[in-house]
Structure 1
Amino acid sequence: MILKLEHIQKNYGTKTVLKDCTFSFEKGKIYGLLGRNGAGKTTLFNCLTDEVRADGGEAFLIDDAGSTKPLIPSQVGYVFSTPILPDFLTGYEFIRFYMDIHQGKRTPEKTIDEYFDMVKMDKEDRHKLIKGYSHGMKNKVQMLCFIIARPPVILLDEPLTSFDVVVALEIKQLLRELKQDHIIIFSTHILQLATDLCDEIAVLSEGNLQQIDHNLLAGKDFEERIIELLKDDNAHE
């Protein structure tokens, strides 16, 4: 399975955020999407999920049989940097509802408590209102949504920065296990996190996507190469 982007463009007034994003992402790999703050990483994710409409270009999903179809929102799981969840429900109520609407699609089948156990959420916290959750707890609930729904494409927008060290390590291991059946794109501006977790690196700079040679990931010149690509990108939030 391949996610193929062709000439994705997005402008906000006279400002061009995405100029010509063309790239292919393969199943079985975790891709790190690197870029400076304001480079357009979140905008690209929003275009892929139809949260905002791109001004040009298309995204396609090519299945294992070679069939090519336009990417649709239901094929994308999006973990937002700022979680968007129903504050009037408890975590347990929301996940139970989410499991019900994905009945028959979940692989493998697990109980609701087994799902919560996966992200190490305390039993008493599961029954508290989401509005009282910390940022990290809300991100755990977001993580459970794509674990339950298992969409082919998973977009993660800076999700690990709110976790403590132990939970972050556990989530990293979980993502490594999930990547065999999914296309995972991990947006971050933290270089060490990208090199630790990701199989491939894509840099978003000046509105374009560029893949970094995989062999450079373990090389001593990797940081210098990334800095060279990004230092002239004057985009900022």
Structure 2
Amino acid sequence: MSYYIQFNQVSKSFKSEEVLKDVSFELEKGKIYGFVGRNGSGKTVIFKLISGLMRPSAGEIFLESQNMTHAKQFPKSIGVLIETPGFIPHYSGMKNLKILNGLSEKLASAETLEKSMELVGLDPHNKKPVRTYSLGMRQKLGIAQAIMNSPELLILDEPMNGLDEESVKKMRTFFTQLKEEHQVTILLASHNKEDIQVLCDDLFELSKGTVKRSGQGANEVAI
């Protein structure tokens, strides 16, 4: 079977601290995978390794059978929301997206940028600078940035952070549609058990540098 993403005995260390220890797993295309564990367990490190923002200390990482371990370019067709989204504070949300879009290999149309903002519940015509955004609005803009270039792989680290209950429900529906209608593969880290239970086809639990496939038993793991 040809897997979409493969980790083969991947380790990652920072000075004397080994964050990941001989981690191996395989992911199929067109599914939503949950990654759960306590803070510092390595979820964000795994996401940064897949997205090319970090290199492993040992082992190999494959994306669509291409060895990305020492690749000098970011994976193509990927959308990423990791940690706090960074934007130019005195520009509007739309202007930020236009600047980031201009740096992408796969350019989105102005109409697509507007639609991306509307999908997450933001007004693309609002000139309000990002520095005045609430936490939830910044998070929505981060999701809009992650989806604006129609990625095949979407990596989301705590995407519901700061969102109100109604927005959370809309985002869950939207992520499910991306998977079912467009075969987008989504990697999701969340401390919210309901996010994991509602969205994920499969689950990985991280603890003390190791990764264990836990299936759909979200109630049985520490989130």
Q: Report the TM-score, using the length of structure 1 for normalisation.
A: 0.80
Does residue 172 (structure 1) correspond to residue 169 (structure 2)? The answer is no
Aligned to 2:192: 190
Bigger mean CA offset, 29-38 vs 43-52: 43-52
CA separation of 1:69 and 1:122: change in aligned 2, threshold 3 A: same
Q: Please identify, of 163-172 and 109-118, the stretch whose mean Cα deviation from structure 2 is larger.
A: 109-118
What is the match of residue 28 of structure 2? 26
Measure the CA separation in 2 of the matches of 1:48 and 1:104: 19
- Greater mean deviation of Cα atoms: 166-175 or 80-89: 80-89
Q: 1:13 to 1:100 in 2, by over 3 A?
A: closer
Contact 1:203 1:212 in 2 (8 A): yes
Which whole-Å CA distance do the structure 1 matches of 2:111 and 2:200 have between them?
Answer: 27
* Residue 120 to residue 12, structure 1, CA distance change in 2 (3 Å): same
Task: Give the equivalent residue in structure 1 for 2:54.
Answer: 52
Match of 1:41 among 22, 30, 43: 43
The separation in 1 between residues aligned to 2:49 and 2:106, in whole angstroms, is: 29
- Counterpart residue type for residue 121 of structure 1: L
Aligned pair in 2 of structure 1 residues 17, 132: CA closer, same or farther (>3 Å)?
Answer: same
In structure 2, give the amino acid aligned to 1:147.
I
Pick the structure with greater CA Rg: 1
Question: What is the percentage of aligned positions where both structures have the same residue?
Answer: 26
Distance in 1 between residues matched to 2:42 and 2:146, nearest whole Å: 23
* Equivalent residue number for residue 7 of structure 2: 5
Q: Which runs of 5+ in 2 are unaligned?
A: none
Counterpart amino acid of residue 73 in structure 1: F
Aligned 8 A contact 2:79 2:151 in 1 = yes
The CA distance in 2 between the partners of 1:45 and 1:83, in whole Å, is 15
Q: 2:207, 2:106 → 1: CA distance?
A: 41
Measured in 2, the distance between the counterparts of 1:182 and 1:115 equals 16
Aligned partner of residue 94 in structure 1, secondary structure: helix
Under a length normalisation based on structure 2, what TM-score does the superposition of the two structures give? 0.84
Unaligned runs of 5+ in 1: 63-67, 231-237
Matches of 2:146 and 2:203, distance apart in 1? 22
Return structure 1 stretches of 4+ with deviation > 6 angstroms. none
Equivalent pairs counted in the alignment come to 214
Pairwise CA RMSD: 2.4
Corresponding position of 1:161: 161
Question: Would you tell me which structure has more helix in proportion to its own residues?
Answer: 1
Structure scoring higher RCO (CA < 8 A, sep ≥ 6) equals 1
The answer (yes or no) to whether the contact 1:18–1:40 under 8 Å persists in 2 is: yes
SS in 2 for 1:120: coil
Equivalence for 2:203? 201
Q: Does 1:70 align with 2:55?
A: no
Partner of 2:120: 119
Question: Which structure 2 residues correspond to residues 135-150 of structure 1 after superposition, within 5 A?
Answer: 135-150=135-150
Which residue identity is paired with 1:86?
A: I
Paired with 1:150 and 1:59, the residues of 2 have a C-alpha distance of 23
